[in-house]
Amino acid sequence: MNSVDKIRKSVSFLLDDSFRPGVIVQLNGDIYYENEQFKVHFAAKTRQNIDEIIDSSSIHSWTSFTERSANSPHILMEMIQMNVLFNEKHKIDVQLFYLPDINKIIALFDILEPQKIPSLKTYLNAFKQSGSFMLLVDRKGIIRDVNEMHTMFINQTSEELIGEHISKVFSLIDPENAQQLPDYFELAEKQGCVTTIIKYQKSTEDTRFYHIVSYYDKETKMFIVHMSDATEKENLQVQLAHSGSLSAVGQIAASIAHELRNPITTLKGFTQLLKASASDDSVRYISVIEDEIERMESILGEMLVLSKPSRKKKIAFSLDLLIADMVAVIKPKANMEGIEVIEKVELNNVPLIYGDPDKIKQVLLNLYKNALEAMKEGGILSTLLAEDDGRLSLIVSDTGKGMTDHQVSQVFMPFFSSKPGGTGLGLPFVLKTVEDHGGTIKVESRVDVGTQFILSFPLMSDSKPIPLEKIQSIIL
């Protein structure tokens, strides 16, 4: 620590004043040190001597104090009214301290400019109107004040909190670790500031993450607890972790794809041979084996699609014709289960989109399959295709059991599934495919009412120009 820092530290109780500009001055008037408030008020150029700040009409008062200081072995204190120069001349009070131990004078200037000196009301308004939940807590842990965000964070009124111990708040948020509260505040008092993130189960379907910062103010001996909602940030980190997992799955799937496909090909070959000479009962068993082999291939294909960009050549095709064909495919199963299928098209012409029709078929099959599985007899599966502001809007809706807000927020996450035995890869495939085609997808759902997936695709005019000879409609 250099000599300037040592001297500043020894007089910090004076210079650390929150509002008043202050300087350490040699007896000859040379400025030794300036605090931050002094730099704000007397900025523009570096001041070398106190006579650059004090008007000539007040130099006599300053000189008189320095002369008495030079001859005194004791601390001197005096309030002197001086004409001081900053921007223009101002008549203000200057509090002077002579400290014989360091043989220097401390000068504190009472700058009376309300616009530069925040009032207590300003700080109170900042406390009350903060977008975060803030509490003022004494050393005994008693809550002395809270701002207006208490109901947003813990659903408690200010009357229920003020006068209570802070443990009440922490018990509501994190009951399992509330006993660690004394250690937490002891650490805050020692270090001045501590931070933590607490998981709060606000309701069965709403998990929040609160970032809590606790400051200790030595002057007032009070704790200021600042609580902000970090749920989005934590969820983003979870999504990034999922992305990393998905990338790892893709690498593993790609590395073992050939190893899996070789035995699958062999199994398919032998089942075909066995089928030629098998009895009727054996044929049924072999058919089950073939179905399971196809399921294995489908799961592997979905994993590979999620991790690798599509390499198939894209073409222009008619989405309404493709939808009509896919509706025809799922109608027999829907009829068997007593589910009505409604197809509605609101188009003036036959607009084309550019992409991979086979992938879009798989998207529709996934959405239709999920819808059928979510409904009981008497349900309705609806498909609406319409043109909206230069884009094609596709809505697939059902009258099934619906989803909670939590399920809706997780529905496109890899490996998340609300169905027993589900792989959690179908809807991530749907999302990736739609986005690969320049489209968007969102979900709206209500429990016991139903779910609808809203897809939007750019029309051919908004896509990459394609030679006319390559434009064609695709029919199954």
pLDDT digits (tens, 9 = 90+) for 266-307: 888 888 888 877 777 788 888 888 888 887 776 666 556 545
Using a cut of 0.85, tell me whether the model's pTM lies above it.
no
Average pLDDT over residues 382-398: 90
Closest alpha carbon to 212 in 229, 200, 227: 227
Which contacts of 294-300 are long-range, i.e. CB under 8 A and separated by 24 or more positions?
296/260, 296/264, 297/261, 297/264, 299/423, 299/425, 300/253, 300/257, 300/260, 300/261
Six-digit token pair at 122?
């300003």
Tell me which fold the domain 315-470 belongs to: Heat Shock Protein 90 (3.30.565)
Q: Say what the pLDDT of residue 277 is.
A: 78
Task: List the Cα angle 251/254/255 in 5-degree steps.
Answer: 85
Band of the pLDDT at 465, cuts 50, 70, 90? very low
Band of the pLDDT at 464, cuts 50, 70, 90? very low
Whether the pLDDT of residue 12 is over 90: the answer is no
Q: Say what the pLDDT of residue 472 is.
A: 38
Whether the pLDDT of residue 115 is over 50: the answer is no
Tell me which fold the domain 235-307 belongs to: Helix Hairpins (1.10.287)
Whether the pLDDT of residue 455 is over 60: the answer is yes
Average pLDDT over residues 165-193: 75
Q: Say what the pLDDT of residue 398 is.
A: 94
Sheet holding 222-229: strands in order across?
A: 143-146, 133-138, 222-229, 206-217, 193-203
pLDDT digits (tens, 9 = 90+) for 299-328: 666 556 545 555 556 888 888 888 888 888
Whether the pLDDT of residue 418 is over 70: the answer is no
Q: What percent of the chain has pLDDT over 70?
A: 73
Secondary-structure class of domain 120-229 per CATH: alpha beta
Q: Kindly indicate whether the domain formed by 3-109 is annotated with CATH number 3.30.450.20.
A: yes
Looking at per-residue pLDDT, the higher value among 185 and 145 belongs to 145
Q: What percent of the chain has pLDDT over 90?
A: 10
Torsion sign (Cα): 118, 122, 124, 129: negative
d(CA 346, CA 457): 15
Whether the pLDDT of residue 461 is over 80: the answer is no
Residues facing 97 on adjacent strands:
77, 106
Q: Say what the pLDDT of residue 341 is.
A: 92
Q: Say what the pLDDT of residue 262 is.
A: 73
Q: Say what the pLDDT of residue 468 is.
A: 34
Average pLDDT, the chain: 77
Whether the pLDDT of residue 260 is over 60: the answer is yes
Average pLDDT over residues 454-469: 62
Highest mean pLDDT among 5-9, 186-190, 341-345, 355-359: 341-345
Q: Say what the pLDDT of residue 284 is.
A: 80
Looking at per-residue pLDDT, the higher value among 127 and 46 belongs to 127
Residue 221, φ and ψ in degrees, nearest 5: 55, 45
On the question of a common fold for 3-109 and 120-229, the answer reads yes
Q: Say what the pLDDT of residue 339 is.
A: 93
Q: Say what the pLDDT of residue 43 is.
A: 57
Q: Say what the pLDDT of residue 242 is.
A: 56
Closest alpha carbon to 138 in 244, 253, 216: 216
Average pLDDT over residues 65-76: 89
Looking at per-residue pLDDT, the higher value among 105 and 288 belongs to 105
pLDDT digits (tens, 9 = 90+) for 344-381: 988 877 788 888 888 888 899 889 988 998 898 999 99
Band of the pLDDT at 457, cuts 50, 70, 90? very high
Whether the pLDDT of residue 128 is over 60: the answer is yes
Domain boundaries, the chain: 3-109, 120-229, 235-307, 315-470
